[in-house]
Structure 1
Amino acid sequence: MARIASSPVARLLLAAHGALAGLTVDVENADSVKAAAALVAEDLMTLYHGNETGQTPGIFDSPPAGDYWWWTGSTLWSSLLGYRNRTGDTKYDETISQGLMFQVGPNNDYMPLNWTASEGNDDQGLWALSAMAAGLYGLPNGGNNNPQWVDVAKSVFDEQHMHDRRVDEDDCAGALRWQIYPFNKGYDYVNSASNIAFLNLAAQLAYVTGNKTYADAASDTFDLLSDIGLVTEDFDVYDGAQADDCDVNKAQFSYDAGLLIQGAAFMYNHTGEDGWRGRLDGLVNRTLDKFFVDGAAFEVACEESNRCNTDMYFLKGILLRTLGSAMQVAPHTADKILPVLKSSAKAAAAQCTGGDNGRMCGFKWASGKFDGKTGPAQQINVLEALVSVLPAGGATTGSNSNGTDSGSNGQNTQGSTTDDHQSMGVRSSVSVAALVGSALLGSLFM
């Protein structure tokens, strides 16, 4: 197992908070949070084998040898990119770049040959958002004529914007299907994750490039989700609908709400429009009310009933990542979001008392007790919880010749104020994240 501390400084900082047994952290102290996050990241990387000889870069062990589907790999890279951005720790750069680039596929669109036949639009969107984060944070792309990160994200947008990916008739006309190919189970299902991922990607591309096509796509997608009933007037976000009759499946998962919040935050920042602010604020209020119990993130669809599967374990971390991003992009939301993120981070760290090293993390946080369920998702979730309370901008952000194209930044600062940024100790740089998608919902509902 990993060492108790990754450095003498981290060891001393955690010892000051009684963290040598477990992972106690002072969420009001940035140095304490960074030290704890470094340990969680270190332990997380002991569970990734893609950079070892004979293994596949970019993904966790997948079936039949392992239990992790392709999409989960991108959550690792999005998490480490957020960690990099907020702590300034760049030691994982080569591993992140290798993982993201190895899975990009022959057409630079995250449709690698080993997974193309089975991946869904949500899977592809998830990887595209990871690439988007890599570009915004200036992650080197490895050179050797590799594509620029944002160009990869644009390619995914272009493909998902096409009519052949979408329902062409009846009440769900225009919606992005869950599956890409008709022979896959779920082709006749419109899942919110695919459409929200597309909206989020479009919003971020609008923010970066100022291109109206992207902004229009984000707006049209929100309208469509509302018209179908997947986003309600009370800002509940439902899982999906059958493509033929648009009958809505009212299950709710935290990542759908979080990803939509992030997309709305980018659109409000980009446009400064009251309409986007209203959507953003409504989504934040409803999501904080629904997906947190006693101040800790809680996956309401499965956590209390102990019915979460391997894929569902990843969703809580995505919620925290996207809330942290929204708080940076639209600082007025911090008054509501930041206290909840801090209480959740405290609860998350407190239950990391498992494993041979005495600090591996579990899935359930509200009880404050380690539940015995360890794995990549559990480590990612806690890493996201800790990282989300740190100011952005610890590492290089924005355009970089290795990561982005030369498009202008379309940021509109009407959605924020200098005082807001100064009071939070942050820059107006984005904290982009991923969403989740996957072959995951096949195991849930199909």
Structure 2
Amino acid sequence: MVRVPNKPLLAALALAVDGVYGALVADLDDPASIKQAAAQVAEDLLSFYRGDEPGWVPGILPGPPPDGDYYWWQGGALWGTMLDYRHHTGDNTYDPIVLQAMIHQVGPNEDFMPPNWTASMGNDDQGFWGMSAMLATEVGFTDPGDDEPQWLALAQAVFNEQTHEDRRVASGRCEWGLRWQVYPSNTGYNYINTIANACYFNIAARLARYTDNQTYADYAVRTWDLVKDLGYISDDWDVYDGAHLPYCNDTNRAQFSYNAAMLLQGAAYLYNYTNGAEEWKVRIDGLIDRMIEVFFPGGVAYEPSCEGAKCNTDMKSFKGYMHRWMGNTMQLVPHTREKIYPVLKTSVANAVKQCSGGPNGRFCGFHWTTGVFDGEIGAGQQMNVLGALLSLLAPDSAPPLTNATGGTSRGDVNAGSDEPVLPTFATVTVADRAGAGILTALLIAGSLSAFAWMSID
């Protein structure tokens, strides 16, 4: 059964009154038609968002499970998609929603570490929000008020905190690797994965270009070298998922499109920053060739490590990021357009063809290779098709700004929390023990009373 969120249902009822139904249609040779289709997909995408309604939390999609399908990081990914939508189409309809959403999730230290999500925080989760703040900086999105955190400073805060030794491996073969999870109590703390390090690499590369600061570039290069030396990028340009401590030699060879695409985009920023350095050209060309082979069989986007079996909710959003970041690569590295654009166009054609489901007859599924709607809708599926459409507009859109080419966002090189990642506790005194004993006695008495009451029946 197709799961129908409240907003699409209401939209469908409104459409039924007008008698307007129909699959998504786009002439991929006409930018105006692409923009019109993108507007429809964006509208349907935001039908999954409830944060602008009373009683819901701004910034996040409903979740995490069991309260909804989505984890915190996908909110950051959503706003990155919508910022690209605004930039490539010129439609600023959703500016108030995007601004409210991103600011609401900043957290008290202005670093995208809100208390509600800190306990389950991954470095990649924080990284996705940091990349969206960086994108807001680069596309000239509305600057927050003077009393609010600024986009550039937020990206710098994420970079600074993830550079800190508390987030990294201290020694051994995996030395300086960024851990998947922030806290030792989280499953995955001993996993040094590509996506966390790729997020950091991506932000560092973009900060280097935006601020013209070589220090950021040096950290980006160090991260690339680490990922390559650990074998997460093979000699054939396959990009693997990661490996565990202590030796990082049990490589998980699953290949997900967003890992390769995030590295590709970061490399494109460094290519642009270095005025076309040959080493970055070689890396970009190698990644593109292999990505087309692995992730575009027959020219249509496919997620090989899960699509033949079952992809989870997170994985169902990866295709859209890949398309968007390959589109951005064409902006920054013009020679790649000849190779990338035809593949993306074929992929987008199939993506649009299967957008014929849901309550209004134009919602999109996840499987594109069949060209037929697969019966399940979701925010990830909509983000995928929106990102795909936008990728065809990217080459002719304005390139990302820098602070020398019109960027207005204010930065702070010292942004981020100066508190240690691992919590510290005050010394326990005799009075503390006495108070704890009294409290424990009261809790036990209360529990016994409750158990007695439940046993009466």
Structure 1 length normalisation: TM-score?
0.85
Q: Any conservation in 2 of the 1:88–1:394 contact (CA below 8 Å)? A: no
Q: Any conservation in 2 of the 1:139–1:403 contact (CA below 8 Å)? A: no
Q: Deviations over 1:172-214 (max 9, x none)?
A: 1111011111111111110100001100000000010111110
Q: Deviations over 1:6-48 (max 9, x none)?
A: 99xxx9xxxxxxx962012111110110010000001111111
Q: Which amino acid aligns with 2:409?
A: T
Q: Does 1:288 align with 2:292?
A: yes
Q: Any conservation in 1 of the 2:38–2:390 contact (CA below 8 Å)? A: yes
Match of 1:405 among 388, 405, 410: 410
Match of 1:229 among 216, 228, 231: 231
After superposition, the Cα gap between the structure-2 partners of 1:102 and 1:349, relative to the gap in structure 1 and judged at 3 Å, is same
Match of 1:381 among 363, 381, 384: 384
Give the drift of 1:49: 0.4
Q: Deviations over 1:384-421 (max 9, x none)?
A: 010110146768963699961279xxxxxxxxxxxxxx
Q: Which amino acid aligns with 1:370?
A: F
Aligned to 1:182: 184
Aligned to 1:115: 117
After superposition, the Cα gap between the structure-2 partners of 1:403 and 1:147, relative to the gap in structure 1 and judged at 3 Å, is farther
Q: Any conservation in 2 of the 1:25–1:32 contact (CA below 8 Å)? A: yes
Match of 2:213 among 211, 214, 238: 211
Q: Provide the C-alpha distance between the structure 1 equivalents of 2:340 and 2:397, rounded to a whole number of angstroms.
A: 21
Q: Which amino acid aligns with 1:102?
A: H
The higher-RCO structure (CA 8 Å, 6+ apart) is: 1
Give 4+ residue runs of structure 1 displaced > 2 Å after superposition: 1-4, 391-403
Q: Which amino acid aligns with 1:310?
A: T
Q: Deviations over 1:136-186 (max 9, x none)?
A: 111114415111101100011011111111111221111101111111111
Q: Which amino acid aligns with 2:36?
A: A
Structure-to-structure mapping, 1:149-164, within 5 angstroms:
149-164=151-166
Between structure 1 and structure 2, the one with the greater Rg is 2
Aligned to 1:269: 272
How many percent identity over aligned positions? 49
Aligned to 1:83: 85
Q: Any conservation in 1 of the 2:128–2:199 contact (CA below 8 Å)? A: yes
After superposition, the Cα gap between the structure-2 partners of 1:332 and 1:399, relative to the gap in structure 1 and judged at 3 Å, is closer
Match of 2:370 among 367, 370, 377: 367
Q: Provide the C-alpha distance between the structure 2 equivalents of 1:170 and 1:148, rounded to a whole number of angstroms.
A: 37
Q: Provide the C-alpha distance between the structure 2 equivalents of 1:120 and 1:129, rounded to a whole number of angstroms.
A: 14
Match of 2:306 among 302, 309, 312: 302
Q: Any conservation in 2 of the 1:58–1:99 contact (CA below 8 Å)? A: yes
After superposition, the Cα gap between the structure-2 partners of 1:174 and 1:161, relative to the gap in structure 1 and judged at 3 Å, is same
Q: Which amino acid aligns with 1:365?
A: W
Q: Any conservation in 2 of the 1:109–1:156 contact (CA below 8 Å)? A: yes
Q: Provide the C-alpha distance between the structure 1 equivalents of 2:323 and 2:394, rounded to a whole number of angstroms.
A: 14
CA RMSD of the aligned region, Å?
2.2
Q: Any conservation in 1 of the 2:73–2:129 contact (CA below 8 Å)? A: yes
Q: Any conservation in 2 of the 1:139–1:402 contact (CA below 8 Å)? A: no
Match of 2:326 among 323, 327, 337: 323
Q: Which amino acid aligns with 1:52?
A: E
Q: Provide the C-alpha distance between the structure 2 equivalents of 1:29 and 1:20, rounded to a whole number of angstroms.
A: 22
Q: Does 1:356 align with 2:359?
A: yes
SS of the residue 1:238 aligns to:
coil
Q: Which runs of 5+ in 2 are unaligned?
A: 1-7, 413-457
How many residues were matched structurally? 395
Structure-to-structure mapping, 1:166-205, within 5 angstroms:
166-205=168-207
Structure 2 length normalisation: TM-score?
0.83
Whichever structure has more helix as a proportion of its residues is: 2
Q: Provide the C-alpha distance between the structure 2 equivalents of 1:395 and 1:274, rounded to a whole number of angstroms.
A: 24
Q: Provide the C-alpha distance between the structure 1 equivalents of 2:347 and 2:22, rounded to a whole number of angstroms.
A: 20
